[in-house]
Structure formats: C-alpha cells, structure tokens
Structure 1
C-alpha cells in the first residue's frame, strides 16, 4: 500500500475544503436553522410528539442525514470529476498508484468533510432543542458508515458524469427526494398501511431509521436490518468501483 499517495490525495482534497471553510460551515448552519423555523415551529406547533419524542428533536437525525448524504455525494463526485474534466486524471492513472489508493484518498477526504458537516449540524441542533443520545457508539457508527457509503456512491457519480449538469442530476433528482420521502421529518408509522409497505422499498428509510434509533431508541425498521442495508450498499458501491477501474469505464474512454 502506497500510503504516501493516499495521504497526498487526501491532503489535496482537504486543502480545497479548508479554502472555503466559512462557506462550508455557514451554509449548513443556516439551512439547519431554516428547517427548524419551518418544520420545528410551523409543524411542531401542530405535532407535539412523535413516538414519545418532541417533534423538534425527532427531526434532528433526519436533518443530519440529509446534509451528510448530500455533502458526501457532492464532495466525492466533484473531487474525481474535476481531474477528468481538466485531464489530470491520466497523470494519476499513469503514476504508481492502484485503484484502492485512489479511492482511499478521494473517498476518505469526502467522508471526512461530510463528517465535519454532520457534527456542525448536530451542534447547531442542540441550540434549538434538548437532545439526548441513547446509543452514542451506534450514532457514531451510523454516521461514519453513511459518510463512507455515500462518498463511494458520489465517487461513482463523478466517474459516470460527462458534464456538470449530470454531476448534479442524481443528488438533486434522486437522493434528496428519497431522503424527504424516507422518514426524515416523520415516522413512516404515521402513513397509511399501503404507503408504509411502499416506503420500505426506499433504501434511505433504513439509514434514517437506524440513525434515529441511536438517538431515541425508536426505529421504523429493526436495527439489524438497517445495519445490513448500509453494509450491503457499501459493498455494492465497492464492487462497482472495482469494476470501473478494471474495465476503464468512463475513465480511459
């Protein structure tokens, strides 16, 4: 393993993040505050509690997941797409660096950025509502796994995309709606029986449910199912990336 190459890629990507540090942190803080104003105040005044948890606190895990998923996707996809766009990816591919080291560098940096944003949103949420974390180790595990898995997914999107429009297509038109429809701001138990069954085909449900369980000890699906879902998604992304580098799809073509 060429750790020097991994660290070099990681440091380069993190340097880009720290150059826009204020923007990177101010944006999620403002977004989180607006969500609390809109959902916490407007809807929270009509819904006092959900499964024994105040509505303002109940939406916190969903808010964190929404930001972490979108940030991991955008950072990882742009990180690998930009070298493709300017042509420097061929220098990387010709260097004595294998695909695993490239993935570790780019995905590691994207996951770290998303983790920072998740912590910032958690701290911001604590200013609005009283939070208690029932299972802190499980919370960290779900947060880290989500950062890694969606950074891997974003890496795939960055390789697939042929232009900047395609780069934003899946995060905006697929992932964000899935998060909103995946129980980020409500419990799927509040839905009619038919829609509860349909909603369980949404993979994001399992991530948000498991993450919410780590806070309040309540979940829409069994915690083991949530862990299997995120583990399977991570394995699927790793397999896809291995195939991409093996065949050179959208890299050497």
Structure 2
C-alpha cells in the first residue's frame, strides 16, 4: 500500500503501471470487471509529455489501491468525470482527498471543489487543451473530452460510455434518450479520424468509423423493434419487445437491453425514425 503523509498527501504509489493509449494519454484499468463494465473502467491520465501535472478522467470505483495508483502518477491538478454512473464517479471524492484536485462533471452533484462542465468549454491543464463536448444519450449528463492536439493533430476523444471499445452502449432511459444519442453520434462523427479512448474496452482508431458503426447498429435495432411491434401490437411493453429483439442476450445484461428498448419505443412513438 502506498505511503501517505499525515495530511493525506500521497508520497508514493504502487499498483498497475499505466498503459500508453496515445501521445497525450495513458490509462490504468480499475479492478471492476463485469457484464456492464467489460474488463473494468479505464481511468485516463492526460498530460503533455514531460509535464509534472496530470489530469485524471473517470477515477472509477471506490477502490483504494486503484485511487492510490492514480494519485501517484504525478501532481494531479484536475479530475474530470464523463457521466454520473458509479463506475466512473464513485472514487472521485476520495481521489480529491488524496490529491486536493477539484472534481468537475456536468452535474453539480458530482462536482467537488470545481464548477460544472460547460459544453464547448476549453480547459487548459497539464499542458493540454481539453474541449468539453456535451454528448447526451447514454445518460443526459454524458460528455466527451476532445484533445485536438493529440496524435500529431488528428486528435483523440475520451468517450466515457458514449462509445465503447467493443460492443455497444445501453441507453439509460428515461434519463438517456435515443434522439439525443443519435445527435451525439453525428456530432462525434464530425471529428473524423480522431482516436477513440473509451472508458471500457480497447482503443479504436477512428471516431468517424466508430460513430458510423454505432449509428448503423441503432438503425438495425429500430428495424427489429418495428417488426416486433407489428407482431405484438403497437402498445407492446418494453419487456415484451425485449423478449423478441434481445432473446439471445445473457440475463446479466437483460435490464440494460430492456432500458434500451424503452428508449427505442419512446423514439418511435414520439415520431422518430420517419414515423
């Protein structure tokens, strides 16, 4: 276990070594694997090479060893959160205690010592320009962080759960909606070949390609939902439609599938998808 001074300041840290994910970022995988979190939460370290300062994105769960490892990677000057789910936010207050760095998120409830994030805000920290992009859909407060100077100017984007490294994300309806999510995918697609740095799963090489694949997947699901409604009736419940559309999903992710179906039904019944 890392040593600490009496005031809680970290003096050294042990734990997993950070993995290089792009010229301006590294990640440390949190020990919280599961059906929804895949291998665990990727907590990112953002800084200009050689900078003594570091920004932590998505501290992850309240795991002391993981948080000590993050705190020991340099002088943490800022903690950013992509959205409200506990596998991203739970450790943020403890990391603030360890480092003194403010925590900023879109929702005031998840800010500690710093103001809420604003869409299109540009943050300069640890020698890096970080642009905040509001990308609701997975949740209403989801944001991504664009690093335009990363990858020799191609850029990178820390996407939280908006785009994952493998599989597709759930829509946490009614907080997250499909209309918002599709608009967010379109916004991200405009970043072209930027590298995708997801909070779960491996790095992806192209934002445009990832966003297009996600949009195609959602449109395909809408076709399946429409077909299910034709068989079951237009007033069919989300549970009944999920039984038809997601019949092969593991029970461990059944609730997520049903929430996504509820978002799809809301979208169609509100006139989305050309209805």
The TM-score bracket by the shorter chain reads: under 0.3
- More RCO (CA 8 Å, sep 6+): 1
Question: What is the TM-score of this pair, normalised by structure 2?
Answer: 0.23
Higher strand content, 1 or 2: 2
